[in-house]
Amino acid sequence: MGASIKYEGEFDFMKEKTLADWDRLFRIVQSSDPYGHLRSIHNGSILYNHTRPWVTHVSIQNGSAVEDYGRAVLYRDVYRKPVVFDEVKYEGDIERRWGNIPAEELVLRFWEGTIAGTYVGHGETYRNPQDILWWSKGGVLYGQSPARLAFLRKILEGGLPRGWSRLINCRTAPSRANGANTTSGISAARRAPRGRSSSIKPNSPMA
């Protein structure tokens, strides 16, 4: 999407500012930016009104939106703008509920977002001897998801020249009930065990 301006991560946790303050900041940047950068804002527990004309794309923190069929596309249908789920929980092993999903689950969420015509952001929270989480400081990626996501990226880059829209009708998608097979091995990915595969090398440098 190129360079963009995100006004705040979890804006609603900043109790000193009101929604009117955020509206005003958006309008200031919109009127002052000669290059027309993309503009959005990231939520905590309260969603910003992304229908505002100064918001160019939707920035959402909601892991459950890409856990299953038919959820992610609802945001796109409502806002009629590009939707970025930039925080959907992280591959890792920390105690917090948002930082300990396996690589297979994170990659599944990318597939769910992609087939709904939306975008998903990556993050990692593995412990290491230096007590540095990639999530907060960057550095070296230790997980399996980057290599797995490279496969999805290869598919996307070899696809339609005009880009991707919603790939299936999420409202009539095949059921996962009774272990039924679903598109792109998604059900198999969900059943995959936690832990690292010996076929993926750890300590991969960040791309």
Residue that is written with structure tokens 């929270």 in the block: 125
**75 touches 63 (CB < 8 A):** no
In a domain, 34, yes or no: no
**Percentage of residues in the chain having pLDDT higher than 70:** 72
In a domain, 144, yes or no: yes
In a domain, 19, yes or no: no
pLDDT at 204: 34
Average pLDDT over residues 10-29: 85
Q: How many domains does the chain have?
A: 1
pLDDT at 118: 92
In a domain, 38, yes or no: no
DSSP 3-state percent helix, strand, coil across the chain (nearest 5): 35, 15, 50
pLDDT at 160: 67
Between residues 73 and 175, which one has the greater pLDDT? 73
Average pLDDT over residues 127-145: 81
Domain that holds residue 134: 57-205
pLDDT at 179: 43
pLDDT at 23: 87
DSSP-assigned beta bridge partners for residue 110: none
In a domain, 193, yes or no: yes
pLDDT at 195: 39
For residue 64, pLDDT over 80 is answered with yes
Average pLDDT over residues 81-94: 90
At 180, the pLDDT band (50, 70, 90 cuts) reads: very low
**144-165 burial, b for 16+ CB within 10 Å, e for fewer?**
bbbbbbeeeeeeeeeeeeeeee
pLDDT at 192: 37
Q: Tell me how far apart the alpha carbons of residues 68 and 111 are, in angstroms, rounded to a whole number.
A: 10
In a domain, 85, yes or no: yes
In a domain, 105, yes or no: yes
In a domain, 101, yes or no: yes
Q: Tell me how far apart the alpha carbons of residues 88 and 83 are, in angstroms, rounded to a whole number.
A: 13
Between residues 104 and 95, which one has the greater pLDDT? 104
17: CB partners within 8 A, 6+ apart = 11
At 178, the pLDDT band (50, 70, 90 cuts) reads: very low
CATH number at 160 reads: 3.20.20.80
